[in-house]
Amino acid sequence: MTNTPDSLGREVLYEKPEPHVAVARLNRPDKRNAVNGHVAAAMDWIVKETERDPEVRVVILASSSDAAFCAGADLAEISQGRGHLLSTPDGGFAGFATHPREKPWIAAVNAPALAGGCELALACDMIVAADTARFGLPEVKRGLFAGAGGVFRLTRRLPASIAFELVATGDPIDAPRAHQLGLVNRCVPAAEVFAQALALARAIAVNAPLSVRESLKVARMSFDAPESELWAVSRQTSAKVFASEDAREGPLAFLEKRAPVWKGR
């Protein structure tokens, strides 16, 4: 287990458990992984580090504790006038919610993900959840607002009527129902969450990294861009990918009946 720089503390642990896969583990078990300034700074650093590191192809966001994924913002920090530290200029809430990322992230949700914790899961591209987990934005029950993207990211991952209900009532949805509706990729027993997230990461990491990044870039645009723009970007991306070394390596490896050796370029 490695960690972020010492100056950022140990509130988030960072490791690369196997080739091409990185893991960020929220590590405040006594606070149910609530986000404070150290968590935000560490997550901001981890996003930048994983984007910079050519060996990393996919990242898992997990918890070091089986008791919690993330309880959202640390209200003690806010009450003490340090709420501004819970966000970073590049990453927004938790140094993550708005951070530009090309590489895929998988949330390994082993326990309830509510409020800001739900928003961190929604900021990831994929979710593997325990069958006992729940997802929700209870802010309206306290006269607050889910300002880290949850109120609009839910409608992009769930049928609109279901998302509207969750936003307006503040009531959570359990993981089996979330899986049925497509919010969760895999719903498994809690003890299997990280292993299943790692299996999904491996299935991504085995592919050509440039192809994955560029394909995800266009896929993420599909929520906002008109189809005419998506066609233009798709043509540009196709030309870029097909001109890469990996585009030559993939077919050659297939013909030679061997595993491809990706260069990421």
Q: Tell me the sheet residues that pair with 61.
A: 24, 107
- The CA distances from residue 163 to 110, 155, 173, 221, in Å, are 22, 5, 10, 21
Tokens for 149?
A: 């993207």
| Residue pointed to by tokens 């990211």 | 153
Q: Please identify every residue annotated as catalytic.
A: 119, 139
User: Cα 125 to chain center, whole Å?
Assistant: 5
If DSSP codes are grouped into helix, strand and coil, which group holds residue 92? strand
If DSSP codes are grouped into helix, strand and coil, which group holds residue 157? helix
Taking residue 265's Cβ as centre, other Cβ atoms within 10 Å add up to: 10
